[in-house]
């Protein structure tokens, strides 16, 4: 199962809790990579922690700005040597995506740029409220095409759109948030799926938060292994 990548969302600014999540989700049976978002990165000690971390990690900043500002943001992260993934919003447009990918190549050849599409907290009704006329699936496919043309490495979308994207873009990294173990609370996510069903939809990796980090982390990791082995 080591070809299945599990990203664990470290959604806290507490360093002690972060260390616990990183340590207790570690297993030889799965490839588990910590994902740090805005809450941790913006915290007083978060940035310094990431400078010294020895594990590969994903920095989920969802950068979305004019091209020059976006590439300046990427350049400012070049000291984070173990950062393997960074997210940008596809809605930033083609020029921003191209510029970010070009800058990433210069500062770290192993750094992968992932384009965030429609957040898993949104659905078709939400998109209409924002002003989009396309459905979630239509918009994600259009954004996946931008990712491919920009030479960015992958896409972040819900597992519900993943199979459609995979059929059209065979070599794209597809990472899916909104993943819960069977029976777990959906919380603020609207487009959900279990880990096993997500991998059946040909995703490259999944993002898991509360299902792994709430309660007994080691037991939750065992639950995940058992679920994937069924």
Instruction: Check: CB of residue 77 under 8 Å from CB of residue 103.
Output: no
Amino acid 191: pLDDT: 62
Buried b or exposed e, range 136-158, using 16+ CB within 10 angstroms: bbebbbebbebbbebebbbbbbb
Amino acid 190: pLDDT: 56
Q: Give the pTM.
A: 0.91
What is the separation, in whole angstroms, between the first and last Cα of the chain?
12
Amino acid 159: pLDDT: 86
Per-residue pLDDT of the chain (230 residues; tens, 9 = 90+): 557 899 999 999 999 999 999 999 998 889 999 999 999 999 999 999 999 999 999 999 999 999 999 999 999 999 999 999 999 999 999 999 999 999 999 999 899 999 999 887 888 899 899 989 889 899 999 999 999 999 999 999 988 899 999 999 999 999 999 898 987 666 555 567 899 999 999 999 999 999 999 999 999 999 999 999 88
* Catalytic residue set: 62
Amino acid 51: pLDDT: 94
Region 5-229: CATH code: 3.20.20.70
The helix-helix angle for 136-150 and 159-168 (nearest 10°) equals 50
């Amino acid at each position: 199962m080591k070809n299945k990548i599990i990203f664990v969302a470290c959604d806290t600014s507490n360093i002690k809790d972060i260390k616990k999540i990183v340590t207790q989700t570690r297993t030889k049976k799965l490839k588990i990579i910590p994902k740090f978002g805005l809450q941790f990165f913006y915290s007083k000690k978060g940035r310094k922690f990431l400078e010294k971390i020895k594990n590969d990690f994903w920095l989920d900043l969802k950068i979305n700005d004019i091209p020059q500002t976006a590439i300046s943001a990427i350049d400012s992260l070049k000291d984070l040597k173990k950062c393997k993934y960074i997210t940008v919003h596809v809605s930033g447009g083609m020029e921003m995506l191209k510029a970010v990918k070009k800058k990433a190549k210069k500062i770290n050849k192993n750094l992968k740029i992932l384009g965030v599409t429609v957040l898993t907290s949104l659905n078709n009704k939400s998109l209409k409220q924002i002003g989009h006329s396309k459905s979630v699936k239509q918009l994600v496919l259009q954004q996946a095409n931008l990712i491919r043309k920009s030479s960015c490495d992958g896409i972040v979308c819900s597992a519900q759109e993943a199979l459609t994207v995979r059929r059209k873009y065979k070599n794209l990294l597809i990472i899916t948030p909104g993943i819960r173990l069977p029976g777990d609370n959906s919380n603020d996510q609207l487009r959900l799926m279990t880990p096993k069903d997500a991998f059946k939809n040909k995703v490259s990796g999944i993002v898991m938060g509360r299902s792994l980090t709430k309660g007994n982390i080691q037991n939750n990791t065992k639950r995940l292994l058992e679920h994937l082995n069924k």
